[in-house]
Amino acid sequence: MNEEKLKKVMIQTLGCQMNVYDSERMADMLFLLGYEPTDSPWKADLVIVNTCAIREKAEQKVFSSVGRLCAIKQRRPRMKIAVAGCVAQQQAEKLSARFEGVDLILGTRVIHKLPDHVKALENGESRITDVEMPDSGGLSEENCPPAAQDYRRRPGGVSRYVTIMRGCDNFCSYCVVPYVRGRENSRPPGRIVEEVRGLVSAGAGEVVLLGQNVNSYGKKEKLCSFAELLEQVNDVEGVERIRFVTSHPRDLSDELAAAFSGVKKLCNHLHLPVQSGADPVLKRMNRKYTRDAYLERIEKLRSVSPDIAVTTDVIVGFPGETRQDFEMTLDLLEQVGFDTLFAFEYSDRPRAPARKFDSKVGQEEKNARLKQLLQTQEKITRRIHESLVGRTMNVLVEGYSRHGRSPRKQESGGCVEMTGRTSENRIVNFEINPDQGLVQPEDLIGKTAPVEIIRACANSLKGKMPVEESAVLYTSKGGKIHAA
């Protein structure tokens, strides 16, 4: 393709991993229309803001970002602005009325129509709004953007996302996902495996399978179970590690729990959102499980994989949450021993049933509870990290750490600092001295290497790669690949 004819697109991604995945697919489709990526709105012919509506603050961030882009457009009137994702689906009328500079509003289930709409904009059409939510009873590939033929065009990374299903049927009372992403539909397993092969051929070592509730994958369409899908991905040559998010505790089956010992490439980590440790709150949330049922699932997992790392989500200040309810949540944190958590203050969302609930918790109290929750989890995480000091752990190397090639590092005897994750999803920053071994730092990226943990930090671990090990590379299976 003639580079002089290439147009430029900037895609700003806000929100969850599924938005990251959708943004990659949008970039794939736009490449075929002659668009190459840029990170500057001052250079872009088209800017897409891919949005999140799950929390009030996330929505506020969207409106601030779109406002700044519209101000830039006043100086660059030929630039086109598109808003996609959950806020586009939920707040299309508000966006259109508030921002005259927005040319395209694109819903969550019509991403595949992006090329047609962009062509229409190029031909002079403006103010296109498409928030149709088709539901054909199955997620056809027409309603899922086609995979690019050349996966090497996608922005790099050792770990890559693959959406296996869209939407949700659970209707938790605080959540907008069923309204902005539609009802639950699963992709055919063959297309998922095909996409995984493409990503691996482009250098991915780890794949992360995405869905609002992966535990119910394939049930509607009578496809294979999620555990069976994991087996199929496990069989793809070149895959080093498999992760997935997110699981609903109610649907965590014995078959899936057993996969943590039976599927060799499946990482020893599970994200299992609990949201609250108090049964009255869980009932109002419409979570369809109890505290005891959640703990039984944790016990089942640890009977299969004793060292499994469990992370979670917690909402504080849900309507009607008493101080005693909150204390039950703090107690659950200690009882389970979560590695980390994502914590949020409850906020009313449009169309979510909980917005009509009474007994709202005041903002000051929500702030105080969130602070106490995070302080409690900090102590638990620190305790877990300190227990790992002295152990040697396999780390999938993702690249240089934030300060890996800083002048300070280069002055300290030639050491550089790399970063990666253990199977349990713990971040490890570790030093390697390329002057004392045959392997250069770049050679480690995408490989799994043994790292000795030497220090515990609040959110990560510090390690070092032994000198005698720096001359070899390791695969996830423990096999050595000697450096040239």
Do residue 213 and residue 106 come from a single domain? Answer: no
What is the number of structural domains in the chain? Answer: 3
Tell me the CATH number at 224: 3.30.750.210
Per the structure, the complete domain to which residue 163 belongs is given by: 136-267
- Examine the domain organization and report whether 122 and 195 are in the same domain: no
Mean residue pLDDT of the chain comes to 89
Across 38-133, the runs of DSSP E, i.e. the strands, are: 46-51, 80-85, 104-106, 128-130
Distance CA 273, CA 264 (A): 24
209/153 same-domain check: yes
Beta partners for 266?
Answer: 242
Average pLDDT over residues 197-222: 93
SS (H, E, C) 468-482: HHCCEEECCCCCEEE
Q: What are the residues whose beta carbons fall under 8 Å from the beta carbon of 474, sequence distance 6 or more?
A: 394, 447, 448, 449, 450, 480, 481
How does residue 429 score in pLDDT terms, banded at 50, 70 and 90?
very high
Backbone angle region of 17, left / alpha / beta, with phi > 0 → left and psi within -120 to 50 → alpha:
alpha
> Do 230 and 211 lie in a common domain?
yes
Question: CB–CB of 298/308 below 8 Å?
Answer: no
Average of pLDDT values for 392-414? 76
Convert the pLDDT of each residue in 281-328 to its tens digit. 999 999 999 999 999 999 999 999 999 999 999 999 999 999 999 999
Residue 8 tokens read as: 């430029």
| Omega of the bond leading into 246 within 30 degrees of 0 (cis) | yes
Per the model's pLDDT, the better-predicted residue between 465 and 112 turns out to be 112
SS3 state at 209: strand
Q: Alpha-carbon distance 360 to 58, whole Å? A: 21
**DSSP H or E stretch at residue 363:** helix 363-387
The pLDDT value given to residue 411: 54
Q: Which of 202, 235, 267 is the last residue of a domain?
A: 267
Domain boundary among 267, 290, 313: 267
Looking at 76-205, list the stretches that DSSP marks H as alpha helix, in order from N- to C-terminal side: 86-90, 92-98, 114-122, 177-180, 189-201
Residue 346 lies in a domain: no
SS3 117: helix
The structure's pTM equals 0.89
Beta strands 448-456 and 392-400 are antiparallel
Q: Are residues 120 and 140 in the same domain?
A: no
Is residue 291 domain-resident? no
CATH of the domain at 461: 2.40.50
User: Are 461 and 411 part of one and the same domain?
Assistant: yes
The answer as to whether 370 is a domain residue is: no
117 lies in a domain?
Answer: yes
Q: Final residue of a domain: which of 100, 130, 160?
A: 130
CATH of the domain at 53: 3.40.50.12160
Q: Is residue 352 part of a domain?
A: no
- Within this chain, do residues 182 and 80 fall inside the same structural domain, yes or no? no
Average pLDDT estimate for 92-116: 95
The 7-13 sheet, strands edge to edge: 35-37, 7-13, 46-51, 80-85, 104-106, 128-130
